[in-house]
Structure 1
Amino acid sequence: MAARLHPGVEVRPPLSRIPNRGYAHAKRALDVASAALALVALSPVLLACAVAVKATSPGPVLFRQERWGRGRTRFECWKFRTMVVETPPDMPAASFGDKAAFMTPAGDFLRRWSLDELPQLANILKGDMSVVGPRPVIVREGRLIDLREPLNATAVRPGLTGWAQVNGRNLVDDAEKAFLDGEYVANMSLAFDARVFFRTVATVLSRRGVDRDARRDDDGVPF
């Protein structure tokens, strides 16, 4: 599977290790510093997104949803709301016949450029998430979590971005995502995190991996 998902890329297979304490402390310190700096630097963008959501659709600016966190604990994940308030809650995107009918006027743009995920910078400051890690999954979508667990991918904080997101995003299935998440845990280091982060920037700018369904986010959640 590794050769098919990213030919020529040298990575450890899943299950090889759990990150050590020193790396975990350094990663947490960098998460806090980078999230705080990003919130300040991107405050005009955050304000513009909030105004766009509020001005184009009645309802709250933020969408809050319970998701799986580290060690299969649960936390409230925050996003800019991209669907109308009448949308059925916690329904996987694949269950919608016509997602465009539920999308707010600003929602499609926010998703295409991953701007809807920016409130998760606050989740990082709270300690629920990291900048890089397996993407958080809604509680109802237990299959992906079950696939991740034997690969040690539930042992770390979920991330704003992850190895699976820069290796296919919506173009890989749950088994492939879980495998990639396991590879991430097996290869965790500050250098590998930086590699994932900078590939994320390139992926977002090029919009690679959104062709299967441009209105579905990377964890299959409709909001």
Structure 2
Amino acid sequence: MFVWKRVFDLLAAIVLLLLLLVPIVLTACLVRMKLGSPILFTQTRIGYKEQPFKIYKFRTMTDKRDEQGNLLPDEMRITKTGMWIRKLSLDEFPQLLNIFKGDMSLVGPRPLLTRYLPFYTEEESKRHLVRPGITGLAQIKGRNFVDWQSRFELDVEYVNNQSLWLDLKILLITLIKVLRKDGVEDVPCKTMLDFDVERKLKGGYIPRKEATK
């Protein structure tokens, strides 16, 4: 299973890199002009077998901070250029580098923050049995508007039903949704609490382990 998926990912990533080379270069130049350096946003996420890795994205927000030096909320830092980049999913292009490195796949559960790790149930943690993806089943079912419980259920459903045909179907639907700008929210935190905050508020969870540092 993992052999064909890895081969497919590498071949598809090479083709996409060649096809998208011009948009990638133009996006990089736009970010450099409008947001400055660095061009790429990096963040530690949890991947295959719960191992941390650095995810790459084009920057869409400034580094504006308050008087105490803390970053301002996302909705106060995202720019018009950043919103446009997100709506077209251009910010995801650098994750092709993650695919080449073996951190990610084209299709799989989206990689989430390290601090969420203690809050998954045993069933939800099955999402880490495959490489995280640039797109996935949860993304074609609603992208940023799927609640956490439904998102994790879809992630586990994907893990339990992996196949080449399912991957191709998800990629095709993703392309259609991106072209239609369907289900995209500029700042997700406006309508959804962070997963750890939501689970703490609901209570009743049993921490599985300490989050990876």
- Is TM > 0.5 for Structure 1 vs Structure 2? yes
Counterpart of 1:169 in structure 2: which amino acid?
A: R
Question: Does the CA contact (< 8 Å) of 1:148 and 1:154 recur in 2?
Answer: no
Hey, what does 2:27 align to over in structure 1? 49
Give 4+ residue runs of structure 1 displaced > 6 Å after superposition.
none
Question: Does the CA contact (< 8 Å) of 2:35 and 2:59 recur in 1?
Answer: no
Hey, what does 2:153 align to over in structure 1? 179
Structure 1 segments unaligned to the other structure (5+ residues): 1-22
Question: Does the CA contact (< 8 Å) of 2:92 and 2:134 recur in 1?
Answer: yes
> Root-mean-square deviation (CA), in Å?
2.4
Q: 1:32 aligns with which of 10, 15, 21?
A: 10
Counterpart of 2:96 in structure 1: which amino acid?
A: L
Counterpart of 2:145 in structure 1: which amino acid?
A: L
Question: Does the CA contact (< 8 Å) of 2:104 and 2:132 recur in 1?
Answer: yes
Question: Does the CA contact (< 8 Å) of 2:56 and 2:95 recur in 1?
Answer: yes
Cα shift at 1:140: 2.5
Counterpart CA distance in 1 for 2:107 and 2:186 is 22
Counterpart CA distance in 1 for 2:144 and 2:80 is 22
Identity %: 38
Structure 2 segments unaligned to the other structure (5+ residues): 195-213
SS class of match (2:128): coil
Q: 1:189 aligns with which of 153, 163, 166?
A: 163
SS class of match (1:40): helix
For CA contacts below 8 A with separation 6 or more, give which structure has more relative contact order: 1
Counterpart CA distance in 2 for 1:207 and 1:147 is 32
**TM-score of the pair, normalised by structure 1:** 0.77
Q: 1:74 aligns with which of 52, 56, 66?
A: 52
Q: 1:84 aligns with which of 62, 76, 79?
A: 62
The 5-angstrom pairing of residues 53-132 of structure 1 reads 53-86=31-64, 96=73, 99-132=74-107
Greater per-residue helix proportion = 2
Cα shift at 1:128: 0.2
Counterpart of 2:22 in structure 1: which amino acid?
A: P
Cα shift at 1:42: 0.8
Cα shift at 1:113: 1.0
Aligned length: 188
Distance 1:108-1:147 versus aligned 2 partners, 3 A rule: farther
Counterpart of 1:214 in structure 2: which amino acid?
A: D
Hey, what does 1:168 align to over in structure 2? 142
Counterpart CA distance in 2 for 1:147 and 1:203 is 30
Hey, what does 1:7 align to over in structure 2? none
Cα shift at 1:147: 4.2
**Do structure 1's residue 152 and structure 2's residue 126 form an aligned pair?**
yes
Counterpart of 1:124 in structure 2: which amino acid?
A: I
Counterpart CA distance in 2 for 1:175 and 1:116 is 26
**TM-score of the pair, normalised by structure 2:** 0.80
Per-residue CA distance 1:172-212 (angstroms, 9 max, x = gap) = 111110000001011100001001110101111222222xx
